[in-house]
């Protein structure tokens, strides 16, 4: 593919709810967990080939027809997800003023098949509305941005970018499922519940929002695809140990990532450096009683997995610590987020993180979107051919199932020198391929 292929913006507009938000719902306060989330947009890019139309419906032949269909169905969906049509009010709330989601329509002058032969993170970022300076200027403080990009072959990419202040992975998935259901003409869609602030109210007397440092030129993002069949032997080996611990695929990939990242850091610095991996947990299913999946907002938290000694880098050891950390977190902490003690838990976690940082410990994070049904998102012309979940943050890995379920796709950002060592690690390459072509 011609690496200089550029995205041409065709139009920009605001999509408002098809009916106005009621006066009593005009303001949505953040929960404390919303407040501590960095002020970034999360994103998913859904790719559809021109022949994914499984119903042989000829209603969506042109980009304009698909765009009109998406806009109308989005407008109807925003009636229920009304905060997504509002504007951010600092770090306290969303003004649900119906100003609308920002919708960008664009073209890219190449074929989708060429684009996906070797997915390039720097090119993929241009399919996001957040990469368009004018869009971000026009949509200042917008909660939701969307971009529809058409390829020369008629294939499309639908990029959806809600503010992380209101959308964790579960919230994001609920919104996409509802939007797709509305687009297919379904009347029965899940009704979102915005109850985070009533569970853990916000604070107003101190600055608690965490920021993310700009990556700069010293960091690079790459894609790896782990083969589930190749993980099976390692899983069996660990499971046959004394602890009888059978790892999940996500645990294995996370442990391999941490082990290889530590080795890469050691190779470039010349010394072993203790490391910590934060594993993100969806609190909804971990609370008692569980919260409904339709609960919208940030109901996530992370628990630390620490490797302090070079002798403790075995994958099985790391997996065992992950499993114990998750069990302890679920048993001792998950339910605390429902009440006043949630405040002390949040700030104690910040204090512990600061102590780790002062010791010079290298910090990593891993977020999994595995098991979420993103590949079921059908707006009326078929299911996605490929999905990308970009998150460009330092020392961060995001995971997602491949479409067929035979692999786990990982997007990883590391310092360039460390990435060069990381991607040549023989242990890693025994289980993963570096940026293989997306098969259409």
The residues annotated with a catalytic role in the active site are 164, 378
**C-alpha of 16 from chain center:** 25
Instruction: Give the N- to C-terminal CA distance of the chain in Å, as an integer.
Output: 16
Please count the other Cβ atoms lying within 10 Å of the Cβ belonging to residue 211: 8
Residue 154 has which token pair? 């008629």
Residue 47 has which token pair? 């790719």
Q: Are 80 and 191 in contact (CB under 8 A)?
A: yes
Residue 143 has which token pair? 């909660």
Maximum pairwise Cα distance, the chain:
62
Q: Are 139 and 268 in contact (CB under 8 A)?
A: no
Instruction: Work out the angle at residue 292's Cα, subtended by the Cα atoms of residues 288 and 25, and round it to the nearest 5 degrees.
Output: 120
Q: Are 42 and 162 in contact (CB under 8 A)?
A: yes
Q: Are 106 and 63 in contact (CB under 8 A)?
A: no
Angle between helices 249-269 and 228-239 (to 10 degrees): 90
Residue 313 has which token pair? 């880098």
- CA distances to 151, 322, 384 from 236, rounded to whole Å, are 44, 17, 33
DSSP secondary structure string for all residues of 252-316 = HHHHHHHHHHHHHHHHHHSS---EEEEEEEESGGGSSSPPPTTB-S--EEEEEEEE-SGGG--HH
Residue of 151, 185, 178 lying closest to 162 (CA atoms): 178
Please count the other Cβ atoms lying within 10 Å of the Cβ belonging to residue 308: 12
Residue 33 has which token pair? 């967990």
Give CA–CA dist 196/30, Å, rounded.
7
Residue of 168, 171, 172 lying closest to 292 (CA atoms): 171
Give CA–CA dist 413/392, Å, rounded.
7
Give CA–CA dist 416/82, Å, rounded.
41
């Amino acid at each position: 593919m011609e690496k200089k292929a550029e995205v041409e913006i065709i139009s920009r507009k605001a999509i408002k709810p098809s009916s106005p938000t009621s006066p009593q719902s005009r303001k949505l306060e953040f929960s404390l967990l919303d407040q501590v989330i960095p002020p970034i947009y999360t994103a998913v890019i859904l790719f559809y080939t021109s022949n994914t139309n499984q119903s042989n419906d000829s209603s969506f032949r042109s980009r304009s027809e698909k765009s009109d269909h998406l806009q109308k169905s989005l407008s109807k969906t925003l009636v229920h997800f009304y905060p997504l049509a509002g504007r951010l009010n600092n770090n306290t709330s969303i003004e649900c003023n119906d100003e609308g989601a920002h919708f960008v329509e664009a073209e890219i002058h190449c074929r989708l098949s060429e684009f996906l032969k070797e997915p390039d993170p720097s090119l993929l970022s241009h399919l996001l509305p957040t990469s368009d300076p004018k869009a971000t200027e026009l949509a200042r403080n917008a909660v939701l941005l969307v971009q529809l990009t058409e390829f020369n072959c008629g294939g499309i990419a639908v990029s959806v970018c809600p503010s992380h202040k209101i959308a964790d992975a579960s919230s994001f998935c609920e919104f996409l499922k509802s939007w797709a259901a509305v687009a297919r003409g379904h009347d029965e869609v899940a009704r979102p519940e915005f109850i985070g602030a009533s569970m853990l109210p916000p604070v107003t007397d101190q600055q608690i929002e965490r920021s993310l440092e700009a990556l700069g030129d010293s960091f690079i993002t790459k894609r790896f695809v782990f083969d589930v069949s190749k993980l099976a032997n390692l899983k069996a080996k660990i499971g046959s140990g004394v602890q009888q611990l059978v790892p999940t695929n996500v645990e294995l990939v996370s442990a391999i990532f941490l082990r290889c990242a530590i080795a890469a850091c050691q190779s470039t610095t010349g010394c072993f450096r203790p490391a910590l991996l934060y594993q993100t947990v969806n609190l909804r299913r971990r609370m008692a009683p569980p919260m409904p999946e339709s609960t919208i907002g940030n109901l996530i938290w992370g628990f630390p997995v620490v490797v302090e000694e070079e002798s403790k880098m075995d994958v099985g050891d790391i997996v065992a610590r992950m499993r114990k950390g998750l069990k302890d977190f679920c048993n001792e902490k998950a339910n605390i987020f429902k009440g006043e003690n949630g405040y002390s838990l949040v700030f104690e976690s910040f204090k512990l993180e600061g102590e780790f940082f002062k010791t010079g410990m290298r910090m990593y994070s891993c977020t999994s979107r595995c098991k979420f049904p993103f590949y079921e998102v059908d707006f009326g012309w078929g299911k996605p051919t490929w999905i990308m979940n970009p998150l460009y943050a330092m020392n961060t890995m995001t995971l997602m199932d491949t479409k067929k379920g035979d692999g786990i796709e990982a997007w990883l950002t590391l310092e360039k020198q460390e990435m060069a060592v990381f991607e040549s690690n023989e242990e890693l390459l025994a289980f993963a391929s570096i940026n293989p072509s997306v098969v259409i």
